[in-house]
Amino acid sequence: MKRIGILTSGGDAPGMNAAVRAVARKALSSNLEVCGINYGYRGLVEGDIFEIKEKEVSDLIQLGGTILYTARYPEFAEKEYQQKGVAQLKRNGIDALVTIGGDGSYHGAVRLTEQGINAIGLPGTIDNDIPFTDQTIGFSTAIQTSVSEIDKIRDTAKSHGRIFVVEVMGRNSGEIALRTAIASGSQVVVIPEKPFDIDQIATTIKDARQRGHQHQIIITAEGAIHADSLTQQLSNLGIENIRSVTLGHVARGGSPTAEDRILASRMGSYAIDLLLAGKGGQAVGIEQGVITHHSMLDLFNTKSKTDLSMYDLANILAY
């Protein structure tokens, strides 16, 4: 192995740049050449590839977004496009790849590994919905950002004695919503993993108001119910003085937390260790503080687990 490629794919996540930096620095210090591939698998197929030297990854660890850009490129699920990607890698002398993205991106990495290009995946997504890792790169920052926005919302909520319904990202996962709910002291949290009863939520809010909680924060994950709709339904049930805010993509931007930078650095360096050991088709994770790897094929057969003890805790502490 002489030359490796790095790409970021799917939804971006804070800390992707720190991961790119770590992969590049570790590879360069292992006497490997490094190429960046812009716009994920689309850039791979189109040959949007450039060499990364030491200088290119300076001043990067603190930056949000991804300097390699990202894309959703469903064409890459087709063999014809994968073969074009492999041809581009060969043309550029690239023997192995590190893909930073979610489990969709891992599918592309497996297909490349099957076609002779060892590919390692790093979990770059704010959603924390990837099996075999306690945390994904970007999750810590997404929670931190959501909580600091909600702290501001709480100021105005308190001034007016209002209820605010705040929507955070999470199409299939309530992980962001749960941690955000606990850290922002919310009254109710609604997640895709748990059925909810709108009458019960209205009763909870009314009871809390009776106990003196004039202003309250309700958190909903986008995959459970949108903030606008929940607000309207609660208003129809007699909840007065209620507003909604959708944080959405705000949580995908911004400078990564120290925790995300450290996680990305550890995982990025480990990815090169795996490639140097001749491995491909492996997903890097962190389990009980230790950096680990698992076969992507095993990962596809495993469901990611939402920590529902956080749901119980959020409800208990809302009293």
Nearer to ligand ADP, 73 or 139 (CB): 73
Residue nearest to ligand ADP (CB): 104
107 binds, among ligand ADP, ligand F6P, none (CB under 5 to 8 A by kind): ligand ADP
Question: What is the amino acid identity at position 259?
Answer: E
What minimum distance in Å lies between the beta carbon of 227 and ligand ADP?
A: 23
**C-alpha dihedral sign at 227, 229, 230, 234:** positive
Binding region for ligand ADP (CB under 6 A) out of 74-82, 164-172, 246-254, 261-269: 74-82
Residue nearest to ligand F6P (CB): 11
Binding region for ligand F6P (CB under 6 A) out of 114-122, 124-132, 147-155, 201-209: 124-132
Catalytic residue, chosen from 12, 48, 127, 129, is 127
In the numeric block, which tokens belong to residue 228? 């606008």
Count residues binding ligand ADP (CB under 6 A): 19
| Gap between the Cα atoms of 248 and 48, Å rounded | 30
| Gap between the Cα atoms of 245 and 8, Å rounded | 30
Nearer to ligand ADP, 108 or 174 (CB): 108
SS3 assignment, position 139: helix
Question: What is the amino acid identity at position 36?
Answer: G
Does the active-site annotation cover 134? Answer: no
* End-to-end alpha carbon distance in the chain: 58
Using CB atoms within 10 A of its CB, is residue 46 exposed (0-12), middle (13-18) or buried (19+)?
middle
Sequence-separated (6 or more) residues with CB below 8 Å from residue 58? none
What minimum distance in Å lies between the beta carbon of 174 and ligand F6P?
A: 11
Using CB atoms within 10 A of its CB, is residue 1 exposed (0-12), middle (13-18) or buried (19+)?
middle
Binding region for ligand F6P (CB under 6 A) out of 16-24, 104-112, 115-123, 125-133: 125-133
Q: How far is CA 131 from CA 23, 64, 119, in A?
A: 22, 24, 18
Q: How far from the centroid of its chain's Cα atoms is residue 161's Cα?
A: 34
143 binds, among ligand ADP, ligand F6P, none (CB under 5 to 8 A by kind): none
What minimum distance in Å lies between the beta carbon of 200 and ligand F6P?
A: 25
In the numeric block, which tokens belong to residue 95? 């023997």
Q: What share of the chain is helix, strand, coil (3-state, %, to 5)?
A: 45, 20, 35
36 binds ligand ADP (CB under 6 A): no
126 binds, among ligand ADP, ligand F6P, none (CB under 5 to 8 A by kind): ligand F6P
What minimum distance in Å lies between the beta carbon of 204 and ligand ADP?
A: 34
Judged by CB under 6 A, the chain residues 258 through 317 that form the site for ligand F6P are none
171 binds, among ligand F6P, ligand ADP, none (CB under 5 to 8 A by kind): ligand F6P
125 binds ligand F6P (CB under 6 A): yes
167 binds ligand F6P (CB under 6 A): no
SS3 assignment, position 247: coil
Q: Binding residues for ligand ADP, per CB under 6 A? A: 9-11, 40-41, 72-74, 76-77, 101-105, 107-108, 111, 125
| Chain contacts with ligand F6P (rule: CB under 6 A) | 11, 125-127, 169-171, 222, 252
Positions marked catalytic: 127
